[in-house]
Structures are given as structure tokens and as C-alpha cells.
Amino acid sequence: MTEPSFEEHLQSGNALVAQAQTVATQDFQQARALWQQAGKHFYHAHKADPTHAIAAFRLAQAWMAEAYALQKEESANALVMWANAAAQCELAFDLDPENGRIAMTAASCHHFAGEHDAAKAWKQIGEHLLKDEQAAAEQNRDDA
């Protein structure tokens, strides 16, 4: 039996996320378990292709879901998990340095990790990139 491909892991993780989002309001623990399973797929996708920003970012999002769950439980480990998610966002940003959404997500993770200077810096980066992205979209619309 062959190891699932990057794309198969990414698709499996995305399917689990969709399931988690469906049950989250009724059964938080089940949603959390689904997010954890999705995170494993995103980890394997990222491992299969460490140059792919989407897999790196989806892994960060899975870690954010776990950080949120830990925060909801008032666990001291929540801050560590938020910091891990922030670091993973930064890695994803390194792979896609024009992506303002990733930068803003890193800002949020740093904020929840209590790393306010880093949060402020990442927010500024994200706002700058998103402003440039919006201006380019408006220019393309005007040109059409």
C-alpha cells in the first residue's frame, strides 16, 4: 500500500474540517476530535510537500482550533499552543510572503499567545498586504 499523496492528505483534512464545523455547535468534543484528525492530515500534507503554503497554513489553523479548545478549558497549555500556531503561520507566510490573510492570522495567534509586540508587527504587515491586494483588485476591476 502506498502512502497517501499531498493532495489526498489535504483533501482528507479539509473533509474532516467540514465535518467539525457541522457538529461544533452541538458537540464541541466531537468537533475537537475531528480537528485533531484533520491536523494529522495537514501535518502529513505539509511533510509531503514542505514548500506548499496551503498545507502549512491549514496545519496552523488546526493548531489554532486546539489552542481555542485548550483556552476554553482554561488550560495553561493554551498559550503554548497559540504560540505554536503563530510559529506555523510564520512558516506558511515564509512560503507565501504576499499573503496578507496569513499575516493577519499570525497576528491573531500572537495576540492570544500574549505576544503583543509580535501581534502588532504582524497586523501591520497584514494590513499593508491586504491594502495592496485590495488596490490591485480595484485596478483590475477598473481595467476590465
Residue 137: which H helix or E strand, with range?
Answer: helix 116-143
Report pLDDT for 1. Answer: 53
Domain enclosing residue 98, as ranges: 6-143
Q: How high is the pLDDT of residue 2?
A: 64
Kindly state whether residue 125 falls inside one of the protein's structural domains: yes
User: Do the domain assignments include residue 57?
Assistant: yes
Residue 101 lies in a domain: yes
Instruction: Examine residue 1 and state whether it is found in any structural domain, yes or no.
Output: no
Cell triple for residue 137?
Answer: 483588485
Look at the chain and report how many structural domains it folds into: 1
Q: Confirm whether 54 is domain-assigned.
A: yes
Mean pLDDT for each consecutive 10-residue tract of the chain (144 residues)?
82 94 92 94 94 95 94 95 98 97 98 98 97 79 76
CATH code at 28? 1.25.40.10
Q: Which residues of 93-130 are buried (b: 16+ CB within 10 A; e: fewer)?
A: bebeeebbbbbbbbbbbbbbbebeebbeebbebbeebe
What's the confidence (pLDDT) of residue 122? 98
